[in-house]
Amino acid sequence: MSKGFDDILKERIKELSSYVPDEKLWKVIQAELDTEEAVKNHLKNLPMHMPAPGTWETIEASLEAPVASGRPHKRILRRLLWLTTTAAAAAVVLLLVIPHLVRTEQGITIESEVVPGEELSSTMTLNSEDEDPMEMIRSLCQTGAPACQTELFREKMQLYRELDEELRHLETVISRIGDSPEIIQSVIRIENLKSGTLQELILLIHS
């Protein structure tokens, strides 16, 4: 009726897609590595330049002069405005471009499919946990129902227990590897069989 854990696992593994990268990819990676190595080698050969004495003092003096008078210089204001506008524009451009630049996979097409999830009506409550049907059956059998002693009743009870066990096994599988339509459909079949068996047991008790 339902597949074992190993069978389901094997099937799911077979369903996984395989990916072999293009040979060009290795060449591209090697070229990038070579460039990095070359930059490292040339860094130590770069010439050193020192600013002329008094340069920093000159810059400092030109910055402090307008503030001291209590009004910032118009040229500095314009420069600040220009810098702020440029920075904002750069940030916007970066935000728009980053998603296109960052590609984790090459040659893989990713499509999004919207599959509606399961909806359980707000008026429905699955309160199966509230009352254990098995406990209820045992309780009914305590009141001397002769049907509880019959072979047919025992067989149905055994069937119910086996179905319950199978259902728990599937729940374990779902918690370990997640669900799939096939597993859920097995759950549905077992739930329906359980429900039918339970109602047959009640009928036998009433007979």
Residues that bind another protein (CB under 8 A): 115-121, 123-124, 126-128, 133, 136, 139-140, 142-147, 181, 184-185, 187-188, 191-192, 195, 198-199, 202, 205-206
Q: Which is nearer to another protein, 9 or 141 (CB)?
A: 141
- Least Å distance, CB 122 to another protein, is 9
- Least Å distance, CB 171 to another protein, is 14
- Least Å distance, CB 119 to another protein, is 6
- Least Å distance, CB 137 to another protein, is 9
Alpha-carbon distance 177 to 8, whole Å? 9
- Least Å distance, CB 176 to another protein, is 20
- Residue-by-residue DSSP string for the chain: ----HHHHHHHHHHHS------HHHHHHHHHHHHHHHHHHHHHTTSPP--PPTTHHHHHHHHHHHHHHTTS--HHHHHHHHHHHHHHHHHHHHHHHHHHHH--S-SS--------------TT----TTTS-HHHHHHHHHHTT-GGGGSHHHHHHHHHHHHHHHHHHHHHHHHHHH---HHHHHHHHHHHHHHHHHHHHHHHHHH-
Q: Which is nearer to another protein, 66 or 133 (CB)?
A: 133
Q: Which is nearer to another protein, 21 or 146 (CB)?
A: 146
- Least Å distance, CB 142 to another protein, is 5
Q: Which is nearer to another protein, 76 or 205 (CB)?
A: 205
Are 106 and 25 within 8 A, CB to CB? Answer: yes
Q: Which is nearer to another protein, 25 or 188 (CB)?
A: 188
Q: Which is nearer to another protein, 67 or 152 (CB)?
A: 152
